[in-house]
Structure 1
Amino acid sequence: MRLNLYELYKNKMFTISCIFMFLLFTFSLFGQNVNTPASSAIKANFTMASVKAYQESATLKVEDYYQYLTLLSSESTSETLKTEIKTTIYSLFESENIKVIDFTSTENATISLNELIDKITNKNYSFSVSNFENSIVATDYWTTQYQLTITQNKIPMKFQYYQKIGFKPVVKTFGTTKKEVWTLFLGEVTLP
């Protein structure tokens, strides 16, 4: 059976069209994968008014963190409660190995959250925070600046700190349903 020139041309065009469509489909998938992180960007999912509300919530988390440190540092807090407080503190952060400022030393070096907790336990520190200022929103975090007042033996010390606040979608399970929920995490603490 002999094919005429028109059928040969038609078959060749069909093959070229298939290859073109395949390449187009492949590159469009690749392009979607490149854009996936943008879909998890804060600005892509929230208005600035919503972000401000979350930033207010984050300042409350920072205040909670220092209140928990006060309880943990108190000699009058029971050991059972201290264990619960440590668990709660760790749940505020993205990881237990987050770096924070060691205010117990004169060098203000950075240490892990675990190390700080060990250093202040039973040392009777009290903490208060004020003057919060939030930075411009980045892709999945912002920075909060605040003044920390630490008191030990009735001697107050004041520090100015920056703290990274992570805000990203996390898949959570509710019974048999899984849902993506945007969650706030405290991050590293640094000096200005």
Structure 2
Amino acid sequence: MFLLFTFSVFGQNVNTPASTAIKANFTMASVKAYQESATLKVEDYYQYLTLLSSETTSETLKAEIKMSIFRLFESEKEMVIDFTSTENTAISLNELIKKITNKNFSFLVANFENSIVGSDYWTTQYQLIVTQNKIPMEFQYYQKIGFKPVVKSFGTTKKEVWTLFLGEVTLP
């Protein structure tokens, strides 16, 4: 009897808390809606990069755009693919922003496909067409999308809100 009680108590201590697991908090239909919202964030990211790389965008607006990009990601140190080099190596988001500023890139994102949902993220695969000097380059990328509860303050009230974050970008 003692062993049965011990195993039942310790068996409930799982490494991933159910309160932060996506599948424990949302139906698959809800997750699909959040996945569609995440594809819009990916598209926003590349639209911001287009504005940032434009020589005609004012410096004041570029500062705002950088802050908006960093808010899309969980960290500005997040690793992304350097599409400006032939090696396609991983560099930090901050480094990529420095490399493309005033270089007149444009981006087109298409063919999104989401992976199976993990405990607090999923991966989105998409096609990226990068154009500079009228020369298009096509890439296939995977991007991690984080989805977790974050405590936010609304005046004196604090509330737990589930938030999407763009994560690292990798090659297939």
Tell me the TM-score range normalised by the shorter chain. over 0.9
| Deviation, structure 1 residue 34 | 3.6
Aligned to 1:51: 31
- Cα deviations across residues 120-164 of structure 1 (Å, max 9, x unaligned)? 000000001000000000000000000000000001110000000
| Deviation, structure 1 residue 39 | 1.9
Query: Secondary structure of the residue that 1:97 maps to in structure 2?
Result: coil
1:160 aligns with 2:145: no
1:191 aligns with 2:171: yes
Query: Aligned match of 2:113 in 100, 115, 133?
Result: 133
| TM-score for both structures, normalised by structure 2 | 0.93
Aligned length: 168
C-alpha distance 150-36 of structure 1, shift in aligned 2 (>3 A):
closer
Q: Measure, in 1, the Cα distance between the counterparts of 2:139 and 2:105.
A: 14
| Deviation, structure 1 residue 37 | 1.6
Query: Secondary structure of the residue that 1:172 maps to in structure 2?
Result: strand
- Percent of residue pairs identical: 85
Query: Aligned match of 2:158 in 178, 182, 187?
Result: 178
| Deviation, structure 1 residue 31 | 6.1
- Cα deviations across residues 44-64 of structure 1 (Å, max 9, x unaligned)? 000000000000000000000
Amino acid at match of 1:139: S
Q: Measure, in 2, the Cα distance between the counterparts of 1:36 and 1:168.
A: 13
Query: Secondary structure of the residue that 1:178 maps to in structure 2?
Result: strand
Amino acid at match of 1:69: L
Higher strand share: 2
Higher helix share: 1
**After the TM superposition, which residues 59-78 of structure 1 pair with which residues of structure 2 at under 5 Å, given as runs?**
59-78=39-58
- Cα deviations across residues 155-177 of structure 1 (Å, max 9, x unaligned)? 11100000000000000111111
Q: Measure, in 2, the Cα distance between the counterparts of 1:177 and 1:34.
A: 31
Q: Measure, in 2, the Cα distance between the counterparts of 1:66 and 1:96.
A: 15
RMSD between aligned residues:
1.7
C-alpha distance 139-78 of structure 1, shift in aligned 2 (>3 A):
same
| TM-score for both structures, normalised by structure 1 | 0.83
Query: Secondary structure of the residue that 1:168 maps to in structure 2?
Result: strand
Give structure 1 stretches of 5+ with no counterpart: 1-19
Query: Aligned match of 2:76 in 96, 104, 108?
Result: 96
Q: Measure, in 1, the Cα distance between the counterparts of 2:39 and 2:76.
A: 20
Q: Measure, in 2, the Cα distance between the counterparts of 1:31 and 1:116.
A: 45
Are the aligned partners of 2:120 and 2:146 in contact in 1 as well (CA < 8 Å)? yes
